[in-house]
Amino acid sequence: MTKRILIVKTSSMGDVLHTLPALTDAANHIPNIQFDWVVEENFAQIPSWHFAVNKVIPVAIRRWRKSWFSKNIRQERHVFYHQLQQNNYDIVIDAQGLIKSAFLVTRKARGIKHGLDSKSAREPIASWFYDVKHRIPKDMHAVERIRQLFSQSLGYKLNNEKGDYAIAKHFLSQLPVDNQKYLVFLHSTTRDDKHWTEDQWRSLITLVSQNGYIIKLPWGNESEYQRSIRLAKGFPNVEVLPKLTLAEVANVLAGAKAVISVDTGLSHLTAALDRPNITLYGPTDPKLIGGYGMNQCSYISPEQKMSTILAKDVYIKLKPLI
């Protein structure tokens, strides 16, 4: 008999990706388990890449709250809640731990609701909306916390093995056969203080170019596109990619020899694809939310400033990977 579980993990990209190993654990321990997943519309492709996900239910809380009471938004919410309540789930797992997910989504779903207790959730009030509450230490990496939440909610024991995102095969099977040798530089992030200087990016491009690699630069908006153009100027081996979907970016990352990234959601996607990756950290601490998986390396500024990270030092770390 199929066991039907609803996951509520809406955002952000890194948080959604961090949930995937827990699904793999559950699928390995419980035969015929299937997951439906409520996720923000911008990240709706991600759950579909996992073999245990049956249905993705997009939600648009980020967009709705800009005009919550407009007629169109009210209609969208009505359609969403109709879809959400079509099934009676054996268990609903809120892996977000936020008031907005608990109040707007989890409490309206049909099924026994599991989530973090008030001492474990990022927003303690969220725990008011759960039927079963679990204590998970806050000093664990985000991936391990979610794996623990799933194991306690679904009643199985974890072993000591590293979590498996289980999406790399999905993309590796789609790689082109031309064996092009390239690196990907992920230079874009949402916070200014997490950006690496353009001068240092260009210095790293100069150092890497002597190894004969093509360097690919993805981007997501106009300012990121313009930065890509500036970084590529004068380098015939640097390719500014066209605007890509998230799945298309994943295809590019899956074929890379290695990746250099700032602290961004695509860095977590690189980790989920098991690609060698050096992530540069300034003001953020990777201990709890850094790259998780095979071949992940953190370069942390001792001064907690991205401007103090030098291209020559990053290149030293990169050379063994290429």
Q: Over 80: is that where the pLDDT of 180 sits?
A: no
In whole angstroms, give the CA distance from residue 183 to residue 210: 13
Q: What is the pLDDT of residue 303?
A: 94
Q: Which of 122, 151, 166 is the last residue of a domain?
A: 166
Q: Do 11 and 80 fall into the same domain? A: yes
Distance CA 189, CA 181 (A): 25
Sheet containing strand 214-217, edge to edge, reads 238-240, 214-217, 182-186, 258-262, 277-281, 296-300
CA torsion sign, 249 to 254 to 255 to 261? positive
Which domain covers residue 124, as residue numbers?
Answer: 3-166
3-state secondary structure of 105: coil
- In this prediction, residue 178 carries a pLDDT of 62
Strands (E), 99-205: 110-116, 132-134, 182-186
Is 121 a residue whose pLDDT tops 90?
yes
Q: Are residues 158 and 176 in the same domain?
A: no
Share of residues in the chain with pLDDT > 90 (%): 90
* Mean local confidence (pLDDT), 224-244: 97
Residue 176 has pLDDT above 80, yes or no: no
Task: Determine the pLDDT at residue 264.
Answer: 95
Task: For residues 204 and 317, state if they share a domain.
Answer: yes
On whether the CB atoms of residues 85 and 108 are closer than 8 A, the answer is yes
The alpha carbon of residue 53 and the mean position of all alpha carbons in its chain are separated, in whole angstroms, by: 16
**180 and 136 belong to one structural domain:** no
- Residue 179 has a pLDDT of 67
pLDDT score for 177: 60
State the chain's mean pLDDT as an integer.
95
Q: Mean per-residue pLDDT for 275-301?
A: 93
Size of the chain, expressed as the number of residues it contains: 322
Percentage of the chain modeled with pLDDT above 70: 99
pLDDT at 170 over 90: no
Please state, in angstroms and rounded to a whole number, the distance separating the CA atoms of residues 7 and 95. Answer: 7
Tell me the pLDDT tens digit for each residue of 82-109. 999 999 999 999 999 999 999 999 999 9
**Average pLDDT for residues 182-190, to the nearest whole number?**
96
Do residue 222 and residue 307 come from a single domain?
A: yes
Question: Do residues 14 and 123 share a domain?
Answer: yes
User: What pLDDT, on the 0 to 100 scale, is given for residue 172?
Assistant: 78
Q: What is the pLDDT of residue 126?
A: 98
Same domain, 47 and 156: yes
Number of domains into which the chain is organized: 2
Question: Which of these three, 140, 166, 192, is where a domain ends?
Answer: 166
Residues 121 and 228 in one domain: no
User: How does pLDDT run across 255-270, given as a tens digit for each residue?
Assistant: 999 999 999 999 999 9
Q: In this structure, are 22 and 114 located in the same domain?
A: yes
Per-residue model confidence (pLDDT) at position 1: 80
Whether residue 189 has pLDDT greater than 80: yes
Residues 89 and 202 occupy one common structural domain: no
Task: Give the list of residues 6+ apart from residue 137 with CB closer than 8 angstroms, or none.
Answer: 120, 145
**What per-residue confidence (pLDDT) applies to 236?**
96
Report, as an integer, the average pLDDT of 6-34. Answer: 97
Specify whether 56 is located in the same domain as 191: no
Q: Give the CATH number, domain containing residue 285.
A: 3.40.50.2000
d(CA 150, CA 241): 38
**Same domain, yes or no, for 299 and 265?**
yes
Pairing label, strands 214-217, 182-186 = parallel
pLDDT value for 266: 97
Domain boundary among 166, 188, 209: 166
Contact between 80 and 64 (Cβ < 8 Å): no
